[in-house]
Amino acid sequence: MHVPVWAWAAFVGGLLLLLAIDLLAHRKAHVIGFREAAWWSVGWVSLGITFAFVIWAWQGPGAAGEYTAAYLLEKSLSVDNLFVFALIFSYFKVPREYQHRVLFYGVLGALVLRFIFIAAGITLLEHFSFVIYIFGAFLLFTAFKMVRDDGVDMDPGQSRAVKLLRKVMPVTDSYEGQHFVLRRAGKLVATPLLAVLVAIETADVLFAFDSVPAALGVTNETFLVYTANALAILGLRSLFFLLSGLMEKFHHLATGLAVILAFIGVKMLLTDVWHMPIWLSLTVIAVVLAGSITWSLATAPPSDADGDGADGGAAGAGAAGAGAGAGAGAGVAAGSGPAAVTSPDAADSASDGLSKRPASQVGEQAR
Protein backbone atom coordinates (compact mmCIF):
# COMPACT_ATOMS: atom_id res chain seq x y z
CA MET A 1 0.00 0.00 0.00
CA HIS A 2 1.59 3.25 -1.15
CA VAL A 3 0.80 6.26 1.02
CA PRO A 4 2.01 9.61 -0.37
CA VAL A 5 3.49 12.26 1.90
CA TRP A 6 0.46 14.50 1.41
CA ALA A 7 -1.78 11.83 2.96
CA TRP A 8 0.36 11.70 6.09
CA ALA A 9 0.50 15.50 6.21
CA ALA A 10 -3.28 15.76 5.83
CA PHE A 11 -3.93 13.24 8.58
CA VAL A 12 -1.46 14.78 11.03
CA GLY A 13 -2.80 18.24 10.23
CA GLY A 14 -6.33 17.00 10.86
CA LEU A 15 -5.26 15.50 14.18
CA LEU A 16 -3.70 18.79 15.30
CA LEU A 17 -6.85 20.68 14.28
CA LEU A 18 -9.07 18.27 16.23
CA LEU A 19 -6.83 18.52 19.29
CA ALA A 20 -6.90 22.33 19.08
CA ILE A 21 -10.71 22.30 18.90
CA ASP A 22 -10.88 19.94 21.87
CA LEU A 23 -8.48 22.11 23.88
CA LEU A 24 -10.47 25.28 23.15
CA ALA A 25 -13.76 23.58 23.99
CA HIS A 26 -12.40 22.53 27.39
CA ARG A 27 -10.16 25.51 28.13
CA LYS A 28 -12.10 26.20 31.34
CA ALA A 29 -11.89 23.52 34.02
CA HIS A 30 -15.26 21.90 34.64
CA VAL A 31 -16.75 18.53 35.45
CA ILE A 32 -17.57 16.60 32.26
CA GLY A 33 -21.19 15.49 32.54
CA PHE A 34 -22.81 12.43 30.98
CA ARG A 35 -24.55 14.37 28.20
CA GLU A 36 -21.41 16.26 27.18
CA ALA A 37 -19.35 13.06 27.22
CA ALA A 38 -22.02 11.28 25.16
CA TRP A 39 -22.00 13.92 22.42
CA TRP A 40 -18.21 13.95 22.24
CA SER A 41 -18.14 10.14 22.15
CA VAL A 42 -20.64 10.05 19.29
CA GLY A 43 -18.51 12.59 17.43
CA TRP A 44 -15.25 10.67 17.86
CA VAL A 45 -16.77 7.31 16.93
CA SER A 46 -18.48 8.86 13.91
CA LEU A 47 -15.13 10.27 12.83
CA GLY A 48 -13.49 6.85 13.13
CA ILE A 49 -16.25 5.21 11.07
CA THR A 50 -16.21 7.98 8.45
CA PHE A 51 -12.47 7.54 8.01
CA ALA A 52 -13.10 3.88 7.14
CA PHE A 53 -15.22 5.02 4.18
CA VAL A 54 -12.44 7.42 3.17
CA ILE A 55 -10.00 4.50 3.14
CA TRP A 56 -12.52 2.43 1.14
CA ALA A 57 -12.88 5.13 -1.53
CA TRP A 58 -9.12 5.73 -1.66
CA GLN A 59 -7.54 2.28 -1.23
CA GLY A 60 -10.41 -0.17 -1.69
CA PRO A 61 -12.45 -2.50 0.56
CA GLY A 62 -9.45 -4.60 1.63
CA ALA A 63 -7.61 -1.68 3.21
CA ALA A 64 -10.86 -0.38 4.71
CA GLY A 65 -11.49 -3.77 6.31
CA GLU A 66 -7.99 -3.87 7.79
CA TYR A 67 -8.39 -0.34 9.17
CA THR A 68 -11.80 -1.16 10.66
CA ALA A 69 -10.50 -4.33 12.33
CA ALA A 70 -7.51 -2.46 13.76
CA TYR A 71 -9.75 0.41 14.93
CA LEU A 72 -12.23 -1.93 16.61
CA LEU A 73 -9.39 -3.89 18.21
CA GLU A 74 -7.73 -0.76 19.57
CA LYS A 75 -11.05 0.63 20.77
CA SER A 76 -11.83 -2.55 22.68
CA LEU A 77 -8.36 -2.79 24.22
CA SER A 78 -8.52 0.90 25.15
CA VAL A 79 -11.51 0.23 27.38
CA ASP A 80 -9.22 -1.65 29.74
CA ASN A 81 -7.13 1.55 29.98
CA LEU A 82 -10.14 3.27 31.52
CA PHE A 83 -10.00 1.05 34.60
CA VAL A 84 -6.37 2.02 35.14
CA PHE A 85 -7.14 5.71 34.60
CA ALA A 86 -9.85 5.45 37.27
CA LEU A 87 -7.37 3.79 39.62
CA ILE A 88 -4.78 6.53 39.04
CA PHE A 89 -7.29 9.36 39.50
CA SER A 90 -8.59 7.76 42.67
CA TYR A 91 -5.11 7.13 44.08
CA PHE A 92 -4.06 10.76 43.61
CA LYS A 93 -7.54 12.10 44.44
CA VAL A 94 -7.65 14.24 41.30
CA PRO A 95 -10.56 16.72 41.35
CA ARG A 96 -12.98 15.75 38.59
CA GLU A 97 -12.76 19.14 36.89
CA TYR A 98 -9.03 18.59 36.21
CA GLN A 99 -9.25 15.03 34.92
CA HIS A 100 -9.98 15.97 31.30
CA ARG A 101 -6.87 18.17 31.14
CA VAL A 102 -4.68 15.31 32.33
CA LEU A 103 -6.24 12.93 29.80
CA PHE A 104 -5.85 15.50 27.02
CA TYR A 105 -2.08 15.73 27.45
CA GLY A 106 -1.96 12.02 28.14
CA VAL A 107 -3.53 11.38 24.73
CA LEU A 108 -1.15 13.87 23.12
CA GLY A 109 1.81 11.93 24.48
CA ALA A 110 0.20 8.62 23.53
CA LEU A 111 -0.15 9.72 19.88
CA VAL A 112 3.60 10.31 19.70
CA LEU A 113 4.57 7.16 21.60
CA ARG A 114 2.23 4.92 19.59
CA PHE A 115 3.77 6.13 16.33
CA ILE A 116 7.23 5.24 17.64
CA PHE A 117 6.06 1.80 18.79
CA ILE A 118 4.26 1.10 15.51
CA ALA A 119 7.17 2.24 13.35
CA ALA A 120 9.59 0.14 15.41
CA GLY A 121 7.32 -2.91 15.26
CA ILE A 122 6.84 -2.74 11.49
CA THR A 123 10.57 -2.17 10.95
CA LEU A 124 11.32 -5.31 12.97
CA LEU A 125 8.77 -7.31 10.96
CA GLU A 126 10.22 -6.10 7.66
CA HIS A 127 13.82 -6.97 8.56
CA PHE A 128 13.28 -9.98 10.82
CA SER A 129 10.25 -11.98 9.72
CA PHE A 130 10.53 -14.35 12.70
CA VAL A 131 9.54 -11.48 15.01
CA ILE A 132 5.90 -12.12 14.10
CA TYR A 133 6.13 -15.43 15.98
CA ILE A 134 7.53 -13.62 19.02
CA PHE A 135 4.65 -11.15 18.87
CA GLY A 136 2.15 -14.00 18.52
CA ALA A 137 3.58 -15.90 21.47
CA PHE A 138 3.63 -12.70 23.53
CA LEU A 139 -0.06 -12.08 22.83
CA LEU A 140 -0.91 -15.65 23.86
CA PHE A 141 1.03 -15.17 27.09
CA THR A 142 -0.74 -11.86 27.71
CA ALA A 143 -4.13 -13.49 27.10
CA PHE A 144 -3.30 -16.27 29.57
CA LYS A 145 -2.16 -13.72 32.15
CA MET A 146 -5.36 -11.69 31.73
CA VAL A 147 -7.51 -14.77 32.33
CA ARG A 148 -5.43 -15.87 35.29
CA ASP A 149 -5.17 -12.44 36.91
CA ASP A 150 -8.44 -10.99 35.51
CA GLY A 151 -6.74 -7.74 34.54
CA VAL A 152 -3.58 -5.72 34.99
CA ASP A 153 -1.92 -5.13 38.35
CA MET A 154 -0.78 -1.58 38.94
CA ASP A 155 0.24 0.56 41.90
CA PRO A 156 0.37 4.17 40.58
CA GLY A 157 2.31 5.60 43.51
CA GLN A 158 5.08 3.03 43.14
CA SER A 159 5.61 3.66 39.42
CA ARG A 160 9.30 4.15 38.67
CA ALA A 161 8.45 7.12 36.48
CA VAL A 162 6.54 8.82 39.30
CA LYS A 163 9.33 8.10 41.78
CA LEU A 164 11.86 9.53 39.31
CA LEU A 165 9.78 12.70 38.97
CA ARG A 166 9.89 13.22 42.73
CA LYS A 167 13.66 12.85 42.69
CA VAL A 168 14.13 15.24 39.76
CA MET A 169 11.99 18.08 41.13
CA PRO A 170 9.97 18.86 44.25
CA VAL A 171 6.22 18.27 44.16
CA THR A 172 3.75 20.60 45.88
CA ASP A 173 1.45 19.36 48.61
CA SER A 174 -1.70 20.49 46.84
CA TYR A 175 -3.19 20.95 43.40
CA GLU A 176 -2.67 24.42 41.96
CA GLY A 177 -5.58 24.71 39.56
CA GLN A 178 -4.82 23.14 36.18
CA HIS A 179 -1.09 23.83 36.42
CA PHE A 180 1.39 21.01 35.96
CA VAL A 181 4.46 23.10 36.85
CA LEU A 182 4.93 26.28 38.89
CA ARG A 183 7.82 28.60 39.62
CA ARG A 184 8.41 29.23 43.31
CA ALA A 185 11.35 31.17 44.73
CA GLY A 186 12.89 31.12 41.27
CA LYS A 187 12.72 27.33 41.01
CA LEU A 188 10.43 25.08 39.01
CA VAL A 189 8.26 22.78 41.10
CA ALA A 190 5.79 20.16 39.95
CA THR A 191 2.21 19.87 41.13
CA PRO A 192 0.53 16.54 41.86
CA LEU A 193 -1.19 16.93 38.48
CA LEU A 194 2.17 16.36 36.75
CA ALA A 195 2.70 13.18 38.78
CA VAL A 196 -0.73 12.00 37.61
CA LEU A 197 0.19 12.76 33.99
CA VAL A 198 3.43 10.78 34.35
CA ALA A 199 1.47 7.84 35.77
CA ILE A 200 -1.03 8.02 32.88
CA GLU A 201 1.74 8.06 30.27
CA THR A 202 3.51 5.16 31.97
CA ALA A 203 0.28 3.15 31.90
CA ASP A 204 -0.18 3.87 28.19
CA VAL A 205 3.34 2.66 27.42
CA LEU A 206 2.56 -0.61 29.22
CA PHE A 207 -0.69 -1.03 27.28
CA ALA A 208 1.10 -0.27 24.00
CA PHE A 209 3.11 -3.48 24.45
CA ASP A 210 -0.19 -5.36 24.05
CA SER A 211 -2.15 -3.23 21.61
CA VAL A 212 0.55 -2.51 19.02
CA PRO A 213 1.54 -6.18 18.42
CA ALA A 214 -2.18 -7.04 18.31
CA ALA A 215 -2.82 -4.36 15.67
CA LEU A 216 0.18 -5.58 13.66
CA GLY A 217 -1.46 -8.99 13.71
CA VAL A 218 -4.36 -7.47 11.76
CA THR A 219 -2.35 -5.39 9.28
CA ASN A 220 1.29 -4.39 8.84
CA GLU A 221 0.49 -1.19 6.94
CA THR A 222 1.92 1.67 8.99
CA PHE A 223 -0.69 4.18 7.85
CA LEU A 224 -3.63 1.92 8.65
CA VAL A 225 -2.29 0.84 12.03
CA TYR A 226 -1.45 4.38 13.14
CA THR A 227 -4.65 6.03 11.93
CA ALA A 228 -6.72 3.31 13.61
CA ASN A 229 -4.77 3.73 16.84
CA ALA A 230 -4.91 7.51 16.76
CA LEU A 231 -8.63 7.79 16.04
CA ALA A 232 -9.45 5.18 18.69
CA ILE A 233 -7.30 6.95 21.29
CA LEU A 234 -8.84 10.36 20.56
CA GLY A 235 -12.21 9.17 21.83
CA LEU A 236 -10.77 7.64 24.97
CA ARG A 237 -11.26 10.75 27.13
CA SER A 238 -14.96 11.23 26.43
CA LEU A 239 -15.49 7.47 26.77
CA PHE A 240 -13.93 7.60 30.23
CA PHE A 241 -16.42 10.21 31.44
CA LEU A 242 -19.29 8.47 29.64
CA LEU A 243 -18.64 5.17 31.39
CA SER A 244 -17.77 6.59 34.83
CA GLY A 245 -19.76 4.70 37.41
CA LEU A 246 -20.56 1.88 34.98
CA MET A 247 -17.15 0.26 34.65
CA GLU A 248 -17.76 -2.37 37.31
CA LYS A 249 -20.61 -3.72 35.17
CA PHE A 250 -18.17 -4.88 32.46
CA HIS A 251 -16.88 -7.71 34.65
CA HIS A 252 -16.48 -10.13 31.72
CA LEU A 253 -14.68 -7.65 29.46
CA ALA A 254 -11.24 -8.91 30.50
CA THR A 255 -12.24 -12.41 29.37
CA GLY A 256 -13.38 -11.08 26.00
CA LEU A 257 -10.17 -9.10 25.51
CA ALA A 258 -8.13 -12.18 26.43
CA VAL A 259 -9.97 -14.20 23.77
CA ILE A 260 -9.31 -11.47 21.18
CA LEU A 261 -5.60 -11.30 22.03
CA ALA A 262 -5.33 -15.10 21.92
CA PHE A 263 -7.10 -15.13 18.54
CA ILE A 264 -4.70 -12.53 17.10
CA GLY A 265 -1.75 -14.41 18.61
CA VAL A 266 -2.79 -17.68 16.94
CA LYS A 267 -3.36 -15.80 13.69
CA MET A 268 0.21 -14.48 13.81
CA LEU A 269 1.65 -17.92 14.60
CA LEU A 270 -0.20 -19.41 11.60
CA THR A 271 0.83 -16.65 9.21
CA ASP A 272 2.96 -19.00 7.05
CA VAL A 273 0.36 -21.77 7.08
CA TRP A 274 -2.87 -19.91 6.47
CA HIS A 275 -3.59 -16.30 5.57
CA MET A 276 -6.78 -15.47 7.42
CA PRO A 277 -9.15 -13.23 5.43
CA ILE A 278 -9.68 -9.81 6.98
CA TRP A 279 -13.45 -10.24 7.10
CA LEU A 280 -13.01 -13.22 9.41
CA SER A 281 -10.70 -11.27 11.74
CA LEU A 282 -13.14 -8.37 11.83
CA THR A 283 -16.09 -10.68 12.52
CA VAL A 284 -14.35 -12.54 15.36
CA ILE A 285 -13.24 -9.31 17.05
CA ALA A 286 -16.71 -7.74 16.78
CA VAL A 287 -18.57 -10.86 17.94
CA VAL A 288 -16.28 -11.53 20.92
CA LEU A 289 -16.35 -7.88 22.03
CA ALA A 290 -20.13 -7.64 21.73
CA GLY A 291 -20.54 -11.02 23.40
CA SER A 292 -18.39 -10.14 26.42
CA ILE A 293 -20.28 -6.86 26.94
CA THR A 294 -23.66 -8.58 26.57
CA TRP A 295 -22.58 -11.35 28.94
CA SER A 296 -21.48 -8.73 31.48
CA LEU A 297 -24.77 -6.84 31.31
CA ALA A 298 -26.86 -10.02 31.43
CA THR A 299 -25.16 -11.51 34.50
CA ALA A 300 -24.53 -10.10 37.93
CA PRO A 301 -20.93 -9.44 39.03
CA PRO A 302 -19.49 -12.02 41.45
CA SER A 303 -19.92 -9.55 44.33
CA ASP A 304 -23.61 -9.15 43.51
CA ALA A 305 -24.07 -12.91 43.69
CA ASP A 306 -22.83 -12.72 47.27
CA GLY A 307 -25.36 -10.03 48.12
CA ASP A 308 -22.95 -7.12 47.83
CA GLY A 309 -24.41 -5.63 44.69
CA ALA A 310 -25.26 -2.26 46.18
CA ASP A 311 -21.82 -1.88 47.66
CA GLY A 312 -20.22 -2.89 44.38
CA GLY A 313 -22.14 -0.22 42.46
CA ALA A 314 -21.18 2.48 44.92
CA ALA A 315 -17.58 1.38 44.88
CA GLY A 316 -17.49 1.40 41.11
CA ALA A 317 -18.87 4.92 40.96
CA GLY A 318 -16.31 6.03 43.51
CA ALA A 319 -13.39 4.53 41.64
CA ALA A 320 -14.45 5.50 38.14
CA GLY A 321 -15.49 9.00 39.08
CA ALA A 322 -12.44 9.53 41.24
CA GLY A 323 -11.79 13.00 42.59
CA ALA A 324 -13.57 15.67 44.58
CA GLY A 325 -16.75 14.34 46.10
CA ALA A 326 -16.81 11.30 43.79
CA GLY A 327 -16.82 8.69 46.54
CA ALA A 328 -14.37 6.29 48.10
CA GLY A 329 -11.24 5.64 46.09
CA ALA A 330 -8.88 2.76 45.76
CA GLY A 331 -7.53 2.65 49.29
CA VAL A 332 -7.48 6.48 49.50
CA ALA A 333 -10.53 8.41 50.60
CA ALA A 334 -11.68 10.57 47.70
CA GLY A 335 -12.46 13.78 49.51
CA SER A 336 -12.47 17.32 48.26
CA GLY A 337 -8.81 17.90 48.98
CA PRO A 338 -5.90 16.76 46.80
CA ALA A 339 -3.38 14.11 47.68
CA ALA A 340 -0.08 15.15 49.19
CA VAL A 341 2.71 13.62 47.15
CA THR A 342 5.64 15.70 48.25
CA SER A 343 8.06 12.82 48.65
CA PRO A 344 8.43 9.09 48.13
CA ASP A 345 7.80 8.58 51.84
CA ALA A 346 4.53 10.46 51.61
CA ALA A 347 3.52 8.38 48.64
CA ASP A 348 4.46 5.16 50.42
CA SER A 349 2.34 6.23 53.36
CA ALA A 350 -0.59 7.03 51.11
CA SER A 351 -0.30 3.70 49.34
CA ASP A 352 -0.44 1.58 52.48
CA GLY A 353 -4.14 1.05 51.90
CA LEU A 354 -3.77 0.50 48.15
CA SER A 355 -3.22 -3.11 47.25
CA LYS A 356 -2.34 -4.16 43.74
CA ARG A 357 -5.64 -5.10 42.14
CA PRO A 358 -6.55 -6.18 38.63
CA ALA A 359 -7.52 -3.23 36.44
CA SER A 360 -10.92 -4.73 35.70
CA GLN A 361 -11.63 -4.85 39.44
CA VAL A 362 -11.06 -1.15 40.08
CA GLY A 363 -14.77 -0.73 40.67
CA GLU A 364 -14.59 -3.18 43.58
CA GLN A 365 -11.56 -1.78 45.40
CA ALA A 366 -13.35 0.63 47.67
CA ARG A 367 -15.40 -2.07 49.38
CA count, 13 A, side-chain hemisphere, 36: 10
Q: How is residue 154 annotated by DSSP?
A: B
**SS3 state at 343:** coil
pLDDT in tens, the chain (367 residues): 788 999 999 999 999 999 999 888 888 878 888 888 889 999 999 999 999 999 999 999 999 999 999 999 888 887 777 878 888 888 888 888 898 889 999 989 999 999 999 999 999 988 888 888 888 888 888 888 877 775 445 556 566 777 788 888 888 878 888 888 888 888 888 888 898 998 888 888 888 887 888 888 888 899 999 999 999 999 888 888 887 766 667 778 778 888 888 888 888 888 778 777 878 888 888 888 888 888 888 887 766 544 444 444 333 433 333 333 333 333 333 333 444 444 434 444 333 333 334 444 444 443 3
Domain limits, the chain = 5-364
Strand ranges inside the chain, DSSP E? 181-184, 187-190, 327-328, 333-334
pTM equals: 0.71
CA dihedral 46, 52, 55, 57 (to 10 degrees): -80
